[in-house]
C-alpha cells in the first residue's frame, strides 16, 4: 500500500507533463492495487496446514429440524442407518454431526458386552473412507459417537456402532473418563423419559491436526445435545487429555442457544 501511495504522489507531481498520461497510469495503479488486495484476501481464506472450516456456521435452533441439518447443504453425504443419521464430510473424513434416538425400553431389554473390531464403511466412497489403521499410533482413541452401551441390545445394533463413520479421534482420558460420563447421562435420561434424542457435533473450527494415511481430521472438541419436547441439555468437551476421574459433568454444560454447526 505504501508503494501505491508513493507512486500516486509521483504521478500527481508530474501530471502536467506531456509525457505522462495521468488517467491511464492511475487506472493501471488502481487495478494492480485491487489485484493485490484480492490476492491477500484469497490467501487468508484458504485453508492452511490441513486446517478445516465448516461449510455453514449457523446456530442450532429448537425445535431441531433434522431435514435442514442433515442435507446436502451441510453434508457431502448423508448416511441414514437404523441407529443413527450421519452428516459425513469428505474433506475431514469424519461425521460432522450425528443424530440418534436412545430408547429406554431397549436399554433394559439386553446388554451384550462383545466388542467387534472397527471397520471401514462401504457406504463411503473408497477415496474418502477411513480405515481402522488411520488411528493406529495416533495418540487418539477411536471414540464412539453413538456408544456401544447405548446400542447393546443386539449383535446387529452393536456392529453398526463399530463403523468408522461412527468414530471421532478423541484423546484417551476424554474418551474413557469425561465423555463416558455424559454417555451414561444420555442413557439415564432415556430411561427417565422413555426415549431421548441426541445430537453430537464435532467442533472443527480452526482444527488442523490430521492422522493416518488418509489424513483424518482430529476435531478440537465435541458438543452433545440431549433433548426431547420438554427437556434439553447441552455439553461441550475440549479434545485434550487433561481429564481425571474428578472431572464434573456439570462443568461442561453450555447454553443450548450458543451451539453452532
What confidence score (pLDDT) does residue 109 get?
Answer: 87
Assigned domain for 53 exists:
no
The verdict on 83 and 10 lying in the same domain is no
Query: Is 140 designated active site?
Result: no
Assigned domain for 227 exists:
yes
Assigned domain for 52 exists:
no
The verdict on 72 and 34 lying in the same domain is no
Pull the grid cell for residue 130.
Answer: 477411513
Positions in the chain whose pLDDT score sits under 70: 1-56
The verdict on 21 and 143 lying in the same domain is no
Distance CA 219, CA 198 (A): 19
Tell me whether residue 242 is annotated as binding: no
Distance CA 168, CA 96 (A): 9
Domain count, the chain: 2
Using one digit for the tens of pLDDT, what is the confidence trace for 82-135?
A: 999 999 999 999 999 999 999 999 999 889 999 999 999 999 999 999 999 999
Catalytic residue among 144, 148, 240, 252: 144
**Nearest alpha carbon to residue 259 among 189, 180, 201, 204:** 201
What confidence score (pLDDT) does residue 211 get?
Answer: 98
Domain ranges, residue 108: 66-258
The verdict on 187 and 238 lying in the same domain is yes
The verdict on 214 and 125 lying in the same domain is yes
Pull the grid cell for residue 188.
Answer: 439415564
Distance CA 152, CA 237 (A): 24
Note the pTM of the prediction, 2 decimals: 0.79
Distance CA 139, CA 18 (A): 71
Amino acid at each position: 500500500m505504501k508503494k501505491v501511495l508513493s507512486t500516486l504522489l509521483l504521478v500527481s507531481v508530474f501530471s502536467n507533463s506531456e509525457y505522462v498520461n495521468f488517467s491511464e497510469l492511475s487506472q493501471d495503479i488502481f487495478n494492480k492495487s485491487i489485484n493485490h488486495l484480492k490476492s491477500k484476501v484469497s490467501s487468508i481464506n484458504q485453508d492452511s496446514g490441513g486446517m478445516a472450516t465448516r461449510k455453514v456456521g449457523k446456530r442450532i435452533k429448537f425445535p431441531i429440524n433434522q431435514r435442514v441439518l442433515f442435507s446436502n447443504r451441510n453434508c457431502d453425504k448423508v448416511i441414514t442407518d437404523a441407529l443413527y443419521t450421519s452428516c459425513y464430510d469428505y474433506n475431514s473424513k469424519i461425521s460432522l454431526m450425528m443424530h440418534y434416538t436412545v430408547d429406554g425400553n431397549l436399554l433394559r431389554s439386553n446388554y451384550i458386552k462383545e466388542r467387534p473390531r472397527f471397520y471401514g464403511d462401504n457406504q463411503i466412497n473408497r477415496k474418502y473412507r477411513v480405515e481402522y489403521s488411520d488411528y493406529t499410533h495416533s495418540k487418539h482413541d477411536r471414540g464412539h459417537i453413538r456408544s456401544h452401551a447405548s446400542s447393546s441390545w443386539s449383535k446387529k445394533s452393536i456392529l453398526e456402532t463399530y463403523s468408522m463413520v461412527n468414530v471421532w479421534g478423541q484423546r484417551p482420558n476424554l474418551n474413557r473418563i469425561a465423555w463416558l460420563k455424559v454417555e451414561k447421562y444420555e442413557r439415564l435420561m432415556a430411561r427417565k423419559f422413555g426415549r431421548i434424542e441426541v445430537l453430537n457435533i464435532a467442533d472443527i473450527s480452526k482444527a488442523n491436526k490430521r492422522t493416518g494415511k488418509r489424513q483424518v481430521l482430529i476435531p478440537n472438541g465435541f458438543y452433545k445435545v440431549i433433548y426431547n419436547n420438554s427437556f434439553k441439555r447441552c455439553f461441550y468437551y475440549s479434545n485434550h487429555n487433561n481429564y481425571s476421574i474428578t472431572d464434573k459433568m456439570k462443568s461442561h454444560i453450555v447454553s443450548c442457544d450458543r451451539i453452532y454447526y
